Amino acid sequence: MQTRTRGATAVAGLAVLATIATACGGSSSGGGTPSSNSSSPAGSSVGFQKISDNDTGTPSKGGTLNILSSSDTDYLDPNVTYYSYGYEMVHPWSRGLYAYQNEEGHQTDVIPDLATAAPTVSSDGKTLTVTLRDGVFWNTSPKRAVTADDVVRGIKTACNPAQPFGGLPDFDFLIEGYQKFCAGFAKVQPNAKAIADYTENTDLPGVVAKDPTTVVFTLTQPASFFPSMLALPTFSPRPKEMDNYVPASTQAAQHTIADGPYQVKSYQPTKSIVFTRNPVWDSSTDQVRKAWVDKITINMTITDRSVGLKQQLAGTPTADLCELCVGATDLPSLLSNPGLSVQSEQASNPYIIFNTQSPNNNGALGKVAVRQALSYALNRAHLLQVAGGTRLNVALTHVLPAQIHGSKNIDLYPNNPSKAKTMLSDAGVSGLKLKFLYRPSSESSKKMFQVVQQDLGQIGVTVTGVPAQDADFYTKYLQKPDSARAGQWDLSLAGWGPDWYGDAALSFFGPLFDGRILPPQSSDFGLFNDPATNACIDKAKNATSTAEANTTWGQCDEDVMKAAAFFPITNPNTPLYHPPFVHHTVFMPVYQDYDWTNVWLDANKNGG
Amino acid sequence: MTVGDIVSATPVSEEGPLNVGPEGAKKIEGRSPWRLAFERLRRDKAALISMIVIVLIVVVAIIAPVFKHLTGHPPNQQYFDTGLTPDGLPRGPTGTFVLGTDDLGRDILVRLAYGARISLLVGVVATFLTVAIGTLVGLAAGYFGKIVDTVLARLIDVMLSIPFLLFAISLASVFQTGLKIVIIVLAIFGWSSVARIVRGQVLSIREREYVEAARSMGAGSWRIMLIDILPNVIAPIIVYTTLLIPVSIVGEATLSFLGVGVQPPTADWGQMIADAQTSNAVEHAWWFLVFPSVALLITTLAFNIFGDGVRDAFDPRSDRVFR
C-alpha cells in the first residue's frame, strides 16, 4: 500500500497492538509517558512507543474539527484508493463491510461495519457469506437502502479500466472468476458509459448477491487471511448512481454518495475538503464511528508542516489536528507532552533493494554470498540514527514487522565489516562498484545513500549515486524490470506497508518476494526470484489453518533473509500531536492517523 | 572637476590640474590606461578589502587539506558517535567540530574549506569559458557584420530568451549531473551577454583609423580582430569577468541547491545549503545553515565589490574612485 511520507523520514503504516496496551496497563487512555516494550507475540521488539493521554471526560457532541494537511489524497473513491490517506478520507462517508476497531490496543482488530458479523465460512473454506445490516441508507433522494448488489458493483469497479485499484494482486487470484472479469474489463473503453455497461452486464461468479442483504464470496482456494482482507475499503458498496462518472475521476469525487455519518459537502482538489453530517445515517447501525463532531474541514494548503505544529501548540482554533506535522527534531521537546503519540506503523519502510539481476560487476549481486556480505557490511544503527533515531525507527532485521502474524525475530546479519570483507574475497569478488539509485529531493533517501556509501566503502566497495527525479524514480527505474536488467542501478531504497493487518504476511511476501510476478504488477523491484521462496509462499497461502500459515510465513521469512533478498532497516513509528481539547485520539495504523469520526472536542472548543 | 573628466592625454593629479610651467613640466609622466586603472583600483579601499577577502578564500581553498589534517576529519566522513546526537541531530560548534556538524555528522568547517574549491573552480572555469565564447562570438559578429552579424545577433537573442533554470534542470535530467555539466550549463547561458557587449564595442572600433590602416596594409581579418581590436575591448571584458565570477558561483550553488548540480557527498556550498534547508534539523541547528550561507554571501559580495572597483577603475568617468 502506498504510504504517507514525512519530510525527514518516510512514514507509513500501522500501529498499536495488544503488546502496547499491555505495556501501558491495558488502559484505553494509555500511560502518557514514554514506555519501551521489549516483547511482542512474535518475540521481537516493537521499540519505543508512547500513547497520548487525553481520553478522559464525557464526550461532547458538536463542533468543527479543523485539520491541516500539506497534501491531497490519491482518489476520493473507496473502491479505488490505495493510499492510507485515501482510506482516511473515505472513512467518514463511506462504510465498508468490515473496519478496524477504534480502541487503544485493538486498532488492528477487524470488526463488522456494514456486515452484521464475521463472515460464515464453508467447511471447505472456499465459500464465505456476509450478511449486511438493515437500516443503512445512501443519501440519495429519496434515501435508498444499501444492498448486496451495491457490494458486488463496488468489487467489480475495483478493476475498472480507467483507474484500477492498485492492490488487485492481493485478491484477484483468490476470487473465483475475478481475473477473467478484470481481463475483459481491461478491454473496455475507459469512459463512464462503457464502464457502467460492463459492470452491470457482466457476471462475476466469485461475488454474488444472493439476496438484498447477503453477499456470497467464492474463492479459488481456502484463504485464512481473506476475512482480514475484507476490511479493505475497496470492498465497500457502490451505488448505481456512481455509474454516471468515471471511477476515481474528479467528477466522481465531487458527486459522492454517502452511507456513513458524514457526506462530502465540498471538495476542491489539493485545496480543501469539507464533511458535514449525513442526515440519513443512523448511529444505531454503526459500531465503528461515533461521529461526535458536526463538521470536519481539511485545509490541504499548508506548505510547512512545522508551522502547522506550531499552530497546534499555540492552540490555534483552525489547527485542531495537523497531518504528520511532528518531525524527528520536534520529538525531544514534545516527549513529556501528553499530547504526543508515537506508535508503530507495522511496516518495513524504508529497506534497501538489491538488484539481483544486475549485469554490473559480472553479475555479482546475483550471488547470494555477495548480498550476504553486503548485508554484514551495512550498519543498520547508522541508518536508523540519520533517519531520526531509534525512538522513531525501530530496527527491523527480517521481513515481517513484529506485529504481523508469523513474524519471526531473527537477525542473520549483525554488522561485521571484517566478515563481509572475507566473504567477498571468498566469493572471488573484488573492486565491486555499485550504483545507488536515490531521490535527491528526499532528505532520507539522500542521507541513507551517503551512509551506505560510507559503510560499504569500508570494505572496499565503491558506491556511486544515480540521482532520479521523483517522477522518474518508480516509473523510469524501479517499475521497469528492463532498467534493473540493464544495470542502471544496483541498490536502491523503497518502503512497504501492508494492505491489511494481523494475518497480513501475504501482503508482504506476495508483492515483494514472489519472483513469478514482476513490476509493475508487483513491487519485487530487485527481481528476486527464488524457487524455494516461491514454493514457501504457495505453501503458506494454501495453509488450512492460521497457525499453520503463520508457521510457514516464519519459515519464508527466514528463507528470504538467508538469501539476502533485501536489507530491512526499520519498522518506523508515527509521531502525532493533538492539543488538550481534542479527545479520543486513538492512533489507527490503517490511516497513520487518528480516526476523525471518533475524536471529540471540549465543549468550549467545539464552536470553531 | 572630477578625475573622470580627464583622459590620460591630459595628465592630472588627484588635487586638480597639474602645474605645467617650466618646472612642472618635468613632473609630467605618461601613464597608460592600465596603469591609471591600477592606481585608481589601489585607492579604492572597498575593492582592496574585497580583494584581500578573495585572496583569503583562495588560500582557504588551496589549504583545505590542512583543515582536514588539523581536525583529523575528512570532508565526507560521517561521525555517528561524536558528530550526531542519538536522534540524528547535528552537533553544535565545539572544540572537536569548530563550526559544528551537518545532519550526517560531518565537519562543517572542513566541508566549507573543500566547498570553496568547488565554488572557485566553477566560478573561474565557467567564467573563463563564458568569456572566451562570448568574446569570439562578439568579435565575429561586430567585425564581419552583415549576415554574420544578423545570424549571431539573433542567436544571442535566442540564448538570452531561454529560461536558465528550466533549461538547466532539463539538461541535468537528460545527462548525468555533476561538475562538468554545471560548468557547461553556466557557460552556455553566460556567453550571450558577453557577446552582446563585445559586439557593441567592436562595431564602433572597427571603423577607427588604425583598423583601416591595418586593413589597408593587408592584415587578415583574424589578425585585425585579435591584434588590433581585442586589446581595445579588453577593459570591459575584464570588468564583466570580475562580475561574472560571483554570478557563476551563485549559479552553481543554485543548481546544486536544486539537486541538479554537484552530487553528494561532494562538499559544495550550494549542496550544503540545500541539505540544511530541506532538513528538519535546521530549526534546532542554526550552524547547519548559517555557516555555508555566510561563506557564499561573503564570497559573492567580495567578488561583486571587487568587480565594481575594477569597473570604476577602468571607467574614467566614474566618480566613485575615492572611497
Residue A445 within a domain: yes
| Separation in Å, CA B309 to CA A426, B32, B33, B59, B131 | 65, 18, 15, 22, 19
Helix, coil or strand: residue B47: helix
pLDDT greater than 80 at residue B8: no
Q: What is the pLDDT of residue A35?
A: 34
Shared domain for A40 and A98, answered yes or no, is yes
Residue A311 within a domain: no
Q: What percent of chain A has pLDDT over 90?
A: 73
Number of domains in chain A: 2
Shared domain for A397 and A443, answered yes or no, is yes
DSSP string across A231-259? TSGGGS---GGGGGS-TT-HHHHTT----
- Domain spans of chain B, in order of start: 57-279
pLDDT greater than 60 at residue B25: no
Q: What is the pLDDT of residue A77?
A: 96
- CA neighbours closer than 13 Å in the CB half-sphere of residue A13: 35
Helices (H), B63-144: 64-71, 108-144
pLDDT greater than 50 at residue A42: no
Taking an 8 Å cut-off on Cβ atoms, the answer to whether A387 and B104 are in contact is: no
pLDDT greater than 70 at residue A44: no
Mean pLDDT of chain A: 89
Taking an 8 Å cut-off on Cβ atoms, the answer to whether A385 and B177 are in contact is: no
CB count within 10 Å of CB A524 equals 24
User: How confident is residue B316, by pLDDT bands cut at 50, 70 and 90?
Assistant: low
Residue A109 within a domain: yes
pLDDT greater than 90 at residue B170: no
A327 touches chain B (CB under 8 A): yes
Nearest to A456 by CA among A489, A395, A415: A415
CATH code of the domain covering residue A533:
3.10.105.10
Q: What is the mean pLDDT of residues A395-401?
A: 96
Rg over alpha carbons for chain B, rounded to the nearest Å, is 24
Structural element, H or E, at residue A297: strand A295-299
Distance to chain A for B252, nearest Cα, Å: 16
Least confident of A199-208, A355-364, A521-530, B231-240: B231-240
pLDDT tens digit string along B140-154? 999 998 899 999 999
Q: Does CATH place domain B57-279 in 1.10.3720.10? A: yes
Shared domain for A235 and A169, answered yes or no, is yes
User: How confident is residue A20, by pLDDT bands cut at 50, 70 and 90?
Assistant: very low
Of B78, B265, B278, the CB nearest to A443: B278
Q: What is the pLDDT of residue A34?
A: 31
Residue A46 within a domain: yes
A385 touches chain B (CB under 8 A): yes
Q: What is the pLDDT of residue B19?
A: 46
pLDDT greater than 60 at residue A36: no
Which residues of chain B have a CB within 8 Å of the CB of A330? 280
Q: What is the pLDDT of residue A348?
A: 92
Give residue A239's domain range: 13-299+576-605
Q: What is the mean pLDDT of residues A598-603?
A: 92
Q: What is the pLDDT of residue A75?
A: 92
Query: Which residues lie below 8 Å from residue A164, measured CB to CB, with a gap of 6+?
Result: A80, A158, A182
Helix, coil or strand: residue A353: strand
pLDDT tens digit string along B203-253? 988 888 888 898 888 888 888 988 889 888 888 888 888 888 888 888 888
How is residue A289 written as a grid cell? 464511528
CA angle A335–A337–A341, rounded 5-degree value:
70
Shared domain for A587 and A556, answered yes or no, is no
pLDDT greater than 50 at residue B16: no
Q: What is the pLDDT of residue B58?
A: 95
Q: What is the pLDDT of residue A45?
A: 61
Distance to chain A for B103, nearest Cα, Å: 7
Chain position carrying cell 571484517? A418
Of A328, A450, A465, the CB nearest to B88: A328
Shared domain for A99 and A192, answered yes or no, is yes
pLDDT greater than 90 at residue A376: yes
Taking an 8 Å cut-off on Cβ atoms, the answer to whether A443 and B85 are in contact is: no
Q: What is the mean pLDDT of residues A258-264?
A: 98
Query: Which residues lie below 8 Å from residue B128, measured CB to CB, with a gap of 6+?
Result: none
Q: What percent of chain B has pLDDT over 70?
A: 87
Q: What are phi and psi of A447, to 5 degrees?
A: -70, -45
pLDDT greater than 50 at residue B3: no
As separate numbers, helices (DSSP H) first and strands (DSSP E) second, chain A gives 19, 27
State which of A169-173, A182-186, B201-205 shows the largest mean pLDDT.
Answer: A182-186
Indicate the pTM of the whole model: 0.81
User: How confident is residue B50, by pLDDT bands cut at 50, 70 and 90?
Assistant: very high
CA distance A539 to A505: 13
CATH code of the domain covering residue A188:
3.40.190.10
Taking an 8 Å cut-off on Cβ atoms, the answer to whether A382 and B284 are in contact is: no
Residue of A nearest to B256 (CA): A440
The answer, yes or no, to whether ipTM is higher than 0.85 is: no
Let me know: does A603 contact A58? Beta carbons within 8 Å.
no
Shared domain for A563 and A584, answered yes or no, is no
Mutation for testing the A interface, residue in B78, B182, B272, B273 having most A CBs under 10 Å: B78
Q: What is the mean pLDDT of residues B166-179?
A: 75
Mean pLDDT of chain B: 84
CA distance A154 to A590: 20
pLDDT greater than 50 at residue B121: yes
Shared domain for A59 and A84, answered yes or no, is yes
Q: What is the pLDDT of residue A253?
A: 95
Least confident of A45-49, A252-256, A348-352: A45-49
